[in-house]
Chains A and B, each alone.
Chain A
Amino acid sequence: MAKISHHKRLTIVPASADVGDDDGLDTAIELSASLISRLREVLDRSDQPVDHIACVLTTRPGEAHEPAVQAARSIVGALTLERGRRVRINLLVTHDESAGEVGETLELLDGDHGGFFAGSTFDLRRTA
């Protein structure tokens, strides 16, 4: 029987984070809790198994989002090690979810040659 691929895309938008306030830590904490919860929900669904999850994190230029980005990166990495070959999880970080490069990256990840990407972060922020 032909293998059926199941891809899931999670869109993540962190709350506003002012530079000089808490420098983004509260936002990182909130985002981490939310991302873990959403990933658990996807991974726990035995009726809708997935073999690839692309997390798309949209940050805003000028905001203190780096702690949130690094937290998301670590969550994706930890789950990659934890789940092994059962599911691939990758992270895209962008300033604009509708930008062409986001679609092109998702196309690569979900395509015939994207199967070795696991635990990777694609930093597509224009000012990165």
Chain B
Amino acid sequence: MSILVTGAAGGIGAAIVDQLVEQGHDVVAHDLRPTSTRSGVTPIVGDLLADGFAGPLGDALGDAPLEAVIAAHGVDGSGTIEDLDDAKVSRILQINTATVARLYQSLYELLERHGGTFVVIASQAGLYAEPKNAAYCASKSALVAWVKDTAPRAATRGVAVRVLCPGCTETPLLLAAHERFAAAEGRDFHEVLDARRRSIPIGRFADVTETAAAAVYLAARDHRPSVLAVTGGEVLG
């Protein structure tokens, strides 16, 4: 049985791949750039936005039964309304939202054959609006709603569709977003970062291994919540 992880070169995606391999799973690791070449991992490089990418993706998955898909790809979308031109908004929504639904549609039958799971990594921004993050919040809120709508129908066909809403996880994506927040406010980057940590009830960011473990928990065939927040108490889910 194999598990497909998209966004596998990113901070959270790479940690998910590591944990799955450690648990003995065969992993197909997708991203725009090459990912892990460790044993048990089949890398595939390609653009989920590209027409016809489902073909190469299907080839990489081969005939092995597909146990789960973890859609961990996405882009940062932080910025004030003035920063968000039409092209940027479109890109954020296409990558974070549209490609996930497209991925599900292209792999649904494979998952149905073996009662697989489809896990989406959204964000706490999909549960609660954040300032200077309108497009990103929209992209993730739409995903959460899509999962809530899709999960009951998929369940009747034996496929579990679930969404994880992680809070601040210490990744290059998070640090880059806070650099932009700091620049927009004319404040010191580290000061902004420390203030953000203090705003989280447990007083710190998540390590990538913590967010990855939550995603791997949701990918199991066993019964799991369809929506799960892991936010250090910042957004209560």
Q: A84-B203, A124-B223 given as contacts; is B229 within 8 A of A116 (CB)?
A: no
Q: Which residues of A contact B210 (CB under 8 A)?
A: 113-116
Q: Which residues of A contact B227 (CB under 8 A)?
A: 123
Interface window among B52-60, B94-102, B211-219 = B211-219
Expressed in whole angstroms, the Cα–Cα distance for A126 and B160 within the complex equals 12
> Quick check: A104 and B202 within 8 Å, CB to CB?
no
> Quick check: B224 and A116 within 8 Å, CB to CB?
no
> Quick check: B232 and A116 within 8 Å, CB to CB?
yes
Contact of B202 among A112, A118, A128 (CB under 8 A): A118
Say yes or no for B63: interface residue by CB 8 A criterion.
no
Chain A CB within 10 A, most for which of B167, B211, B233? B233
Expressed in whole angstroms, the Cα–Cα distance for A52 and B73 within the complex equals 31
Chain B residues bordering chain A, tally (CB within 8 A): 29
Q: Which residues of B contact A77 (CB under 8 A)?
A: 236
Q: Which residues of A contact B220 (CB under 8 A)?
A: 104
> Quick check: A124 and B224 within 8 Å, CB to CB?
yes
Q: Which residues of B contact A20 (CB under 8 A)?
A: none
Contact residues of A between 79 and 128, Cβ < 8 Å to B? 80-81, 83-85, 88, 99-101, 104-105, 108, 111-124, 126, 128
Expressed in whole angstroms, the Cα–Cα distance for A57 and B166 within the complex equals 23
Contact of B225 among A73, A83, A84, A123 (CB under 8 A): A123
Expressed in whole angstroms, the Cα–Cα distance for A122 and B165 within the complex equals 12
A36–chain B nearest beta-carbon distance, Å? 17
Expressed in whole angstroms, the Cα–Cα distance for A73 and B227 within the complex equals 14
Contact residues of B between 154 and 207, Cβ < 8 Å to A? 167, 201-204, 206-207
B72–chain A nearest beta-carbon distance, Å? 16
Q: A116-B206, A119-B236 given as contacts; is B231 within 8 A of A108 (CB)?
A: no
> Quick check: B211 and A116 within 8 Å, CB to CB?
yes
Q: Which residues of A contact B209 (CB under 8 A)?
A: 112-113
Residues on B close to A: CB < 8 A? 167, 201-204, 206-207, 209-214, 217, 220, 222-233, 236-237
Residues on A close to B: CB < 8 A? 73, 76-77, 80-81, 83-85, 88, 99-101, 104-105, 108, 111-124, 126, 128
27 residue pairs bridging A and B, Cβ less than 8 Å apart: A76-B236, A80-B233, A81-B201, A88-B233, A100-B222, A101-B222, A104-B217, A108-B214, A112-B209, A113-B213, A114-B210, A114-B213, A116-B202, A116-B214, A116-B231, A117-B214, A118-B202, A118-B231, A118-B232, A119-B236, A119-B237, A120-B236, A121-B229, A121-B237, A123-B225, A123-B227, A124-B225
